[in-house]
């Protein structure tokens, strides 16, 4: 059983970078063809024809490569509601490899860049997560931004750690979260927080507690978690309710690099079922002391 698991893990580990970069090439081609349209979903969030095309492409790829796997995509799955393995069927996921995909994480930012026809400023990313049968924490993750002038890909595994790829480097960088990081939010220099209408809690209240910090803007929380792992950001905070495909890829990338990851109740990474939504937000910091300080002061702002 262990040998079989290792074989299946290695097959998917070798494949995840290949497939996410193929999706990236397709996404860039769609952007350059200038034929993308956008509409609003019932919940008021944006979706573009590029989101839908990349999601469909990924489903087709997995069905071809791993026909017994489940695919739960933001814009479509390989099982219909009512069939075994439909989106959210954790009983079936306990016995199969299960993939999550956010085809374009940061659709609003992607759409702005598309309307302005300025692709190199687009910080949106493609995000994929795979769970081995029965795993509640991600087994594999990949985040890829193909749109910027210098694209990057980050691949993380619960066994092999976090690797960062850029076109300038012949070999990947094995990433470890920085050691000399701040332990109090007053000393934070760079942070990333997301906020939208209806998000809980309002994370913007924390800005005044970081007098020396500047907000580092990313359209993708997965890209932000990559920058946390690389040491470019001190705090990444994402409010609730969170969909698994929004936060699971970056959670593994940061965790596998040695960062501290938890939800906004402080529940640690290992105790969260990252397949099951809604997730109560996500917080990534270089160390647990900084996370505890952030959460203590966040709670205080909402009880005073």
Q: How does pLDDT run across 43-80, given as a tens digit for each residue?
A: 889 999 999 999 999 999 999 999 999 999 999 999 99
pLDDT digits (tens, 9 = 90+) for 251-284: 999 999 999 999 999 999 999 999 999 999 999 9
Give CA torsion, residues 59, 147, 194, 140, to 10 deg. Answer: 40
Residue/partner pairs of 109-115 with CB below 8 Å, 24 or more apart: 109/219, 109/220, 110/48, 110/50, 110/147, 110/219, 111/38, 111/46, 111/48, 113/147, 114/31, 114/36, 114/48
> Per-residue confidence at 296, pLDDT binned at 50, 70, 90?
very high
pLDDT of 80 reads 94
State residue 121's pLDDT score: 86
Q: What percent of the chain has pLDDT over 70?
A: 99
What is the rounded distance in angstroms from the CA atom of residue 111 to the CA atom of residue 38?
A: 8
Calculate what percentage of the chain has a pLDDT beyond 90: 93
Read off the pLDDT band of 304 (50, 70, 90): low
Q: The whole model's pTM is what? A: 0.95
pLDDT of 116 strictly over 60: yes
Q: Tell me how far apart the alpha carbons of residues 155 and 149 are, in angstroms, rounded to a whole number.
A: 20
How high is the pLDDT of residue 44? 87
For residue 201, whether the previous peptide bond is cis, meaning omega lies within 30 degrees of 0, is yes
- Domain 2-175 carries which CATH code? 3.30.540.10
Residue closest to 130 by CA, chosen among 287, 11, 12: 12
Radius of gyration of the chain (CA): 18
Q: Which residue spans of the chain are classified as CATH 3.40.190.80?
A: 185-301
100, pLDDT greater than 80: yes
The residue count of the chain comes to 304
Average pLDDT, the chain: 95
With a cut of 60, say whether residue 1 has pLDDT above it. no
Identify each DSSP E strand in the chain by its residue range: 38-40, 46-48, 70-73, 76-77, 98-105, 125-131, 140-145, 152-157, 161-165, 173-175, 190-193, 214-215, 235-238, 260-262, 282-285
Write down the CATH number for the domain with range 185-301: 3.40.190.80
């Amino acid at each position: 059983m262990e040998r079989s698991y290792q074989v299946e893990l290695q097959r998917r580990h070798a494949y995840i970078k290949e497939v996410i970069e193929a999706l990236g090439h397709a996404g860039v081609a769609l952007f350059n063809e200038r034929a993308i349209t956008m509409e609003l979903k019932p919940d008021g969030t944006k979706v573009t024809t590029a989101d839908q095309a990349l999601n469909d492409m990924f489903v087709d790829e997995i069905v071809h490569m791993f026909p017994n796997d489940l695919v739960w995509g933001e814009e479509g799955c390989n099982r219909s509601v009512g069939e075994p393995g439909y989106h959210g069927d954790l009983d079936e996921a306990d016995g199969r490899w299960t993939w999550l995909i956010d085809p374009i994480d940061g659709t609003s930012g992607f759409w702005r860049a598309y309307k302005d026809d300025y692709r190199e400023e687009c910080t949106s990313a493609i995000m994929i997560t795979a769970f081995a049968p029965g795993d509640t924490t991600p087994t594999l993750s990949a985040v890829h931004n193909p749109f910027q002038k210098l694209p990057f890909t980050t691949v993380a595994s619960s066994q092999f750690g976090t690797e960062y790829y850029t076109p300038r480097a012949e070999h990947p960088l094995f990433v470890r979260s920085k050691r000399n990081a701040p332990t109090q939010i007053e000393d934070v220099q760079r942070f990333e927080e997301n906020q939208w209408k209806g998000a809980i809690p309002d994370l913007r209240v924390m800005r005044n507690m970081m007098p020396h910090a500047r907000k580092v803007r990313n359209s993708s929380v997965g890209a932000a978690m990559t920058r946390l792992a690389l040491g470019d950001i001190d705090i990444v905070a994402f409010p609730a309710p969170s969909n698994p495909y929004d936060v699971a890829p970056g959670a593994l990338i940061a965790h596998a690099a040695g960062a501290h990851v938890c939800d906004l109740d402080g529940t640690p990474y290992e105790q969260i079922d990252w397949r099951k939504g809604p997730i109560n937000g996500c917080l990534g910091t270089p160390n647990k002391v900084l996370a505890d300080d952030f959460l203590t002061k966040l709670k205080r702002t909402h009880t005073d």
